[in-house]
Amino acid sequence: MRNIILSLAILATTLPAFAATSVKATVNGMVCAFCAQGIEKSISKMDATKSVFVDLKSKVVLVEAKEGKTLDHKAIGAAIVDAGYDVVKLEASAESVEAMKASAKSARK
């Protein structure tokens, strides 16, 4: 019985991760469109990446996975650091790049 409860607890904590199709990174050091372009270019080359959006105002990079693929959090963080920026936080997200673009666009108005 104890093993069943433990298994259910582990399953319950991992279910939200399966729903996440994106990785959101909070990044320090990005100040211009050139910064955003460099990050987008390096992360877009990754096999599992469907699309990338860099929001300079909120200092967030959102990476969306291709259908059926899993994003590698460590590789994304390493690519951002290799580009010369500091990763403050990496987290799974259910938000799509299109939704974040729309949100950023409406915030500018």
Query: pLDDT tens-digit profile of 67-89?
Result: 999 999 999 999 999 999 999 99
H/E stretch holding 69 reads none
Give the pLDDT mean for 38-60. 94
Q: How many CB atoms lie within 10 A of CB 9?
A: 10
Tokens for 93, please give them.
Answer: 């997200």
6, pLDDT greater than 80: no
Look at the alpha carbons of 9, 13, 14, 15 in this order and tell me if their dihedral is positive or negative.
positive
Ranges of H-type helices in 25-65 = 33-44
91-106 pLDDT tens trace: 999 999 999 888 888 8
pTM comes to: 0.78
Local confidence band at 109 (pLDDT 50, 70, 90 cut-offs): low
As a whole number of angstroms, the distance between CA 81 and CA 47 comes to 19
> Which amino acid is residue 84, in one-letter code?
G
Residue whose C-alpha is closest to residue 87's, from 31, 37, 30, 25: 25
CA distance from start to end of the chain = 56
